[in-house]
């Protein structure tokens, strides 16, 4: 990494989270690496505050909380700064596994207690059970099997849920349940 360009004209490489031993420069052409300056987040934020304007910021890390926090902090200091997130995986299956875990983590909600339930639509206990299964993506037949009731009973409960929630289909019910945190 060359030192002949001023700090403000270089590409900055900030490691939001360590990703193995390989650096970005082992993957890029040498000519491009001459303009890359490795800098930590605190130093980058200070430099941005003093008026330094790099051409681009490479933010190294998986696109999780660490990278999102770093990106937010950079955006507070330089809102129009272009930021490119660079991640490294050993294989496509490793990448799929990481994203699967990440999205499961952000989508999972801690089990709700009765006090946390928001049942503004006065849904019955059975309707709430059916709504929970709808949110999980189960179809009427699967819900009926899980609750040991008939398909038609599930259908009647769903229609009652739609009426009480003032909606017209399963997608709207699921969306409303997730947005309004209905148990």
Question: Where does residue 19 fall: left (phi above 0), alpha (psi -120 to 50 degrees), or beta otherwise?
Answer: beta
| Beta bridge pairs of residue 127 | none
Main-chain dihedrals φ then ψ at residue 15, nearest 5 degrees: -90, 105
Cβ atoms within 10 A of the Cβ of 113, count?
8
Q: What does the block give as tokens for 44? A: 């980058």
Residue 149, judged by CB atoms within 10 A of its CB (0-12, 13-18, 19+), counts as: middle
This prediction has a pTM of 0.51
> Does any domain span residue 114?
no
Domain that holds residue 46: 7-107
Co-location of 61 and 30 in the same domain = yes
Provide the number of structural domains found in the chain.
2
Q: What is the CA radius of gyration of the chain?
A: 25
> Does any domain span residue 72?
yes
> Does any domain span residue 117?
no
> Does any domain span residue 115?
no
Tens-digit pLDDT string for the chain (183 aa): 445 555 556 788 888 876 655 566 776 777 777 778 888 899 999 999 998 888 888 888 888 888 888 888 988 888 888 888 888 788 888 888 888 777 777 666 555 444 456 788 899 999 999 999 999 889 999 999 999 999 999 999 999 999 999 999 998 898 888 888 886
């Amino acid at each position: 990494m060359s030192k002949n360009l001023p700090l403000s004209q270089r590409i900055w490489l900030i490691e939001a989270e360590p990703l193995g031993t390989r650096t970005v420069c082992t993957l890029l052409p040498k000519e491009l690496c001459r303009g890359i300056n490795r800098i930590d987040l605190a130093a980058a934020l200070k430099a941005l505050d003093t008026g330094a304007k790099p051409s681009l910021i490479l933010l190294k890390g998986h696109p999780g909380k660490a990278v999102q926090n770093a990106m937010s902090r950079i955006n507070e200091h330089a809102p129009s700064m272009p930021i490119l997130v660079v991640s490294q995986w050993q294989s496509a299956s490793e990448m799929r596994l990481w994203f699967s875990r990440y999205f499961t983590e952000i989508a999972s909600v801690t089990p709700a207690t009765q006090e946390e339930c928001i049942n503004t639509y006065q849904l019955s206990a059975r309707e709430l059970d059916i709504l929970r299964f709808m949110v999980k993506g189960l179809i009427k037949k699967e819900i009926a099997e899980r609750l040991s009731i008939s398909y038609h009973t599930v259908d009647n409960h769903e229609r009652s849920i739609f009426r009480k929630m003032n909606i017209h289909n399963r997608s709207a019910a699921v969306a409303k349940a997730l947005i309004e945190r209905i148990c």
